[in-house]
A = this chain, B = another copy of it.
Amino acid sequence: MNGAESLVKTLLASEIDVCFANPGTSEMHFVAALDRVPGMRCVLGLFEGVVTGAADGYGRMAGKPATTLLHLGPGLANGIANLHNARKARTPILNIVGEHASDHLQYESPLRSDLPATAALISDWYKVGGQQSIARDAAEAVTAARSRDGQIATLILPADTAWAPGDEPRVAQAPEPLLQADVNAIARAVQAVRSGKRVGLLVSGPAVESEGLRLLSRFIGKPNVQLFAQQSNRRFARGRSHLVVPRIPFNIDLAVQMLRDIETLVLVGSHPPAAFFGYPNKPRLLMPADCEVISLLEPGGDTMHALAWLADELGCPAQGQAVAEARRPEMPDTDRLDPDTIMQAMATLLPENAIIVDESVSSGRSLFKFTDGAAPHDFLQITGGAIGSGLPMATGAAVACPDRKVICFEGDGSGMYTLQALWTQAREQLDVVTIILANRSYRILHGELKGVGIDAPGEQAHSMLDLERPALDWVSLARGHGIPAVSVNTVSGFARAFRNACAHEGPFLIEALLP
């Protein structure tokens, strides 16, 4: 048994059975081992950003890590942006990165680079594996990926660790228990609520998944407690029968407005709410300047336990209140296609138990308004601001959940970063409907230019923000990757295409041409 086989057997024994891959020469022994050791599902991505973004989507929905298989320093570098997004979400991912053979690294060769430093940039845990310790190293990496509510673990494997004899395969140990909330912080939070102050609970992570929302509903009876979710979250349970928890808006003025009455902000596994970007003459933090901030525990701690503990201390009912049903969405009463009418129509037609992936950037900000009362679904979003996450995330979510429809809202600007994901959807015949909101512009940047005080961009600036000359033709792009597609420019046209796409299994793309 060579090292590559030890590795694959250890991963399988540790319940890691999906590998998103873009391998090269230094990974050939691992590729060969996949034939000899059955059980690993390998999914090829034509670019590493697809591979890491798919691992992010998979980890969010499967609740366990996938492994990636990447080629040397530049291969890992190509995957950094979506690992950045995954790390901000605390998605568990295990990267296996091939390196030159140990005795070859001393020589200058084209692909030689500082791979450990590259891994350090984006990993919570990383290690260079050794000959005959590959199973032990892999088990350690799996444990690291599962720790602290999800981490990025990167195992660098010189080619000779794969071709040399391997050590005995093993099962990864369970992660250390999660860190608990601080008892003094709990006491202070209880005190604030009892004092009658206006208290905000800012939550993220598991608190906005189904079980977490049920916990949060225990606080509904407290009239001076308001619930808020971070702007970006790993996975949000949404739609009918789920508690509606408003997200902090991207727009600073709206965010400040939302939080303006809060006297004590209790952070439950979330960071202090900060602006997405710093602007001249705008605040950096979003809560009032004199607001008391109490952090019960850091992200990665035992958020669920902290919420239950706080609810118990406050004497909240054990079961929480029944959730008031939001109104079901209805079809728009106009045929004019714009971001709102698309979201509204989609919300109305959404199949049960779908997964919505949102990277529509500027177009999608009204989505929650329409989906509060839509069919129950999970909502995945970009978490680290590094665009190019949507198409790969939808791909990985569909691999994790073959029985659920995945709907991906994608901007034309952001979609272009990792459009190669469409090919993987075609190859694996994944059940993903991609909706491209084609405004033919980095529309968000027009707002951002205004935000820094420039109301009328000149020709050069304009040309840096617009995607016209030539217009991208997403129907051709989809077909080039092997995916059927249509272009629509009315609500009725969109609804027809969306209904058709939902009625059939397999990948489909709808280009929605916005005015």
- Mark A residues whose CB is within 8 Å of B: 21, 23-26, 28-29, 31-32, 34-36, 40, 42, 44, 46-47, 49, 72-75, 77-78, 80-81, 84, 88, 100-101, 103-104, 107-111, 113-114, 117-118, 120-121, 159-160, 163, 231-232, 271-272, 274-280, 284-285, 382-386, 388, 413, 416-417, 419-420, 423, 426-427, 444-445, 448-449, 451-454, 457-461, 463-465, 467, 469-482
Contact = CB atoms under 8 A, between A and B. Distances in A.
Nearest to A427: B469
Q: For the complex of A and B, list the 3 residue pairs with the smallest distance between their C-beta atoms, beginning with the closest.
A: A470-B482, A35-B458, A104-B278
A46 B445 contact: no
Nearest to A89: B110
A467 B478 CA distance: 16
11 contacts: A25-B276, A25-B448, A28-B449, A46-B417, A74-B80, A78-B80, A109-B385, A111-B385, A160-B278, A416-B423, A480-B480
B88 A84 contact: no
Contact of A35 (B31, B107, B423, B457): B457
A32 B232 contact: no
Copies assembled: 2
A129 B116 CA distance: 27
Interface centre among A46, A72, A453, A465 (most CB of B within 10 A): A46
Contacts of A449: 28, 31-32
Contacts of A451: 25, 28
B461 A35 contact: yes
B472 A423 contact: yes
Contacts of A120: 117
B47 A417 contact: yes
A416 B385 CA distance: 24
Contact of A74 (B24, B385, B476, B478): B385
A104 B457 contact: no
A451 B305 CA distance: 54
Contact of A42 (B285, B454, B463): B463
Contacts of A40: 460
Given A104-B284, A423-B472, A463-B42, A417 B78 contact: yes
Given A31-B460, A77-B121, A109-B277, 20 more contacts: A25-B277, A25-B444, A28-B448, A28-B451, A28-B452, A31-B449, A42-B463, A46-B467, A47-B388, A74-B386, A88-B110, A104-B278, A104-B284, A107-B284, A108-B271, A110-B384, A110-B385, A117-B117, A419-B419, A427-B470
Given A28-B448, A445-B25, A34 B472 contact: no
Contacts of A275: 104, 107, 109
Given A28-B445, A467-B46, A110 B276 contact: yes
B35 A452 contact: no
Nearest to A465: B31
A196 to B, nearest CB: 30
